[in-house]
Amino acid sequence: MTEQEVSRKLQVVGDLCCSPVLQAALEPSDAQVLAGALKVLADPARLRLLSLIRSAESGRATTGFLAEEVGLTQPTITHHLGALFEAGFLERERDGRQTWYWVNTDGLETIRQLLDPAPARQLVSVEPLKKAGQ
């Protein structure tokens, strides 16, 4: 694995494994990854792109479709999609001349869990009471 591949791997939000921010102290490296991920999400165009992709009929969209919807050039859309992909919020697949993007819900779920102020809840199973003689 090259140094660049290792660097990319460390920056993906889905790789964070620490407890929620409001429950315990973050490790410095985890705080840096989380801050980087939040910076990626803090752009209005990127938030709009995520919402457009997620709400598309198939849950997938191409750069051309997104450029028309957002009103930005394809190179600008590609730049934003690349940032979202590198942070772990999108997946992509090349199909001929088009690239299809879809939301990586694991990345978004990681952010939600890290910011969740409530302690992790344990599932409790409840069994019905047995009647006498059963």
Is the model's pLDDT at 26 over the cut of 70? Answer: yes
**CB-CB contact of 81 with 90 (8 Å):** yes
**CB-CB contact of 92 with 101 (8 Å):** yes
Per-residue pLDDT, 52: 97
What are the DSSP E strand ranges found in the chain? 60-62, 90-95, 98-103
Is the model's pLDDT at 16 over the cut of 80? Answer: no
- What average pLDDT does the chain have? 78
- Residue-wise pLDDT for 98-132, tens only, equals 999 999 988 888 888 777 766 555 444 444 445 55
